[in-house]
Chain A
Amino acid sequence: MLLSRDEGIVLVLALSNKNIVSSKTTLNKLLARLNLHYIPIDVEFSLHRNGSYYAELSDLEDNELFKTEIYPYQGGHGKKFILEDEGKKLFNEVIKSKLDEIFSEDDFKALKEEIYNLSKLRASDISDDEHKKLLVDIEDRFKLNQRVNEVMITYSDLYEKSKKLPETYETLGLKALIEYSHHLAKYLHKKLHKLEEEKYDYGADMFDYYFLSNLYEMIPLLEDQLKKHVDNPKLINKFYQYLVNSVRDNYPFSLDNPDLMSLIKQSS
């Protein structure tokens, strides 16, 4: 499961206040937020020089799904994005059914509420909120190191436990998810531990941070699923689809990287 860039934009606009997003910067940040809801979208995110999240939207033009409108703003002008009828149709007929593959009703409700509320904020407020969640800032570097240690150790433990599960169709998704997460956690540990104490991680691939944050958040849910031998396959599928499909050959830890196996060996 993967949303294209346009599908991601339509999703954001469909859930935003009045189906409008007030600027490209805000649209960037709302698109980035989909990552924290485990929605894989075909957009590259990196840590911007100003500490913001930047999706490559420079070539974004009006199309049948959404249009732009210029409006006066603080003595200059701003550009807002507005959902078109075709976009609404795409949301109802395609995007919603894609989300149904991975989302429960509660998941969708949480996404809807968050995007709606964030769409009313300024871009800098959305950014600050996300920085805190992802531990991107220099003053959070100690916490980041603690988190990356904890994630690596916990997944190592979960991986050993998952090996004891019998192999059935019902358990395979969980075994695969924990196995993949375990190796990803080791990769992130090796990479993020190299960060210097006082240096901002300019230009970093944001997926390092999204993955770490999501791996951390997934832990209690995976522990529960291990105990229950999987009673919520949709939840497992949501996590799995996000980790394996949100990055392509542009990110090292990817099933589309021909050298992934060597990378895993190096991280061991």
Chain B
Amino acid sequence: MIAFDDCTILNSCSIVIRKSHQIIFSKKELKSKHKDKIEYLFTQLNKKGEVKYRFVPSNIGNASLRIVNELIENTGVNHVMLDQLANTFKNEAVEQLVKYNAKVEKDFKTIQKSENIEEIKDFFKKNERNLTKQKNIPENDDLSIMQAYADYPSKTEKILISHDEHFWGYKDLIKQEYNLRIIEEWHCHKLIE
């Protein structure tokens, strides 16, 4: 059983850069360096007829904004270079991701996020680690995903693919305590090999 977090699903999309901004980015599209790997996994799972899962309710708008900011940061283009139409560029990009999500969401079965997260929150507080890119404790949304997935009945191994350090930064503990296998987004293609 394989589930994806929203950011990974969005990272399978290429964002078209309009001509006004192509000069700044020196390219015509913006995409995650993991896009091909995620797409490869999607294709292989589809061929095998394996169901892909995601979690709801999702906040696809905020996830899209987060992805856009990450993609911009990864290009090395800074805010001074983007300054005059930075928000316009982001808005155009976010709009494309939201539309992309609307197109692909029917390809996924959904798991309802859990509202019961007090216990799992305590667990992470007691086992707090120093993360490199994120705040140490997973956000409530991450916790509601983990709790929901842990509670979801499955006869096969439960795998969650994410690029979020809140998951992979605790992968051994999550496996041990909740029996969820976390695969980093950039390793997702290896599931097929």
Contact surface of A with B, Cβ cutoff 8 Å? 167-170, 172-173, 175-177, 179-180, 183, 240, 244, 249, 254-258, 260-261, 264-265
Task: Determine whether the beta carbon of B85 is less than 8 Å from that of A180.
Answer: yes
Partner of A256, one of B18, B24, B87, B88: B18
CA distance A261 to B84 in the complex (A): 8
- Interface stretch of the complex, out of B58-66, B130-138, B155-163, B171-179: B58-66
B17-54 CB mask vs A (1 if < 8 Å, else 0) is: 01111111000000000000000000000000000000
A-B contact pairs, 26 of them (CB 8 A): A168-B65, A169-B61, A169-B65, A172-B65, A172-B87, A172-B91, A172-B94, A176-B88, A176-B92, A179-B84, A179-B85, A179-B87, A180-B88, A183-B84, A244-B88, A244-B92, A254-B20, A255-B19, A255-B21, A255-B92, A256-B20, A258-B20, A258-B23, A260-B19, A260-B20, A265-B84
Residues of B within 8 A of A264 (CB): 84-85
Q: A172-B65, A180-B85, A183-B84 are in contact. Are A258 and B19 (CB under 8 A)?
A: yes
Q: How far is the CB of A211 from chain B (nearest CB, A)?
A: 15
Task: Determine whether the beta carbon of A183 is less than 8 Å from that of B20.
Answer: no
Whether B121 sits at the interface, judged by CB under 8 Å, is no
Residues of A within 8 A of B84 (CB): 179, 183, 261, 264-265
Residues of B within 8 A of A168 (CB): 62, 65
Residues of B within 8 A of A170 (CB): 61
Residues of B within 8 A of A240 (CB): 91
Partner of B91, one of A176, A254, A256, A260: A176
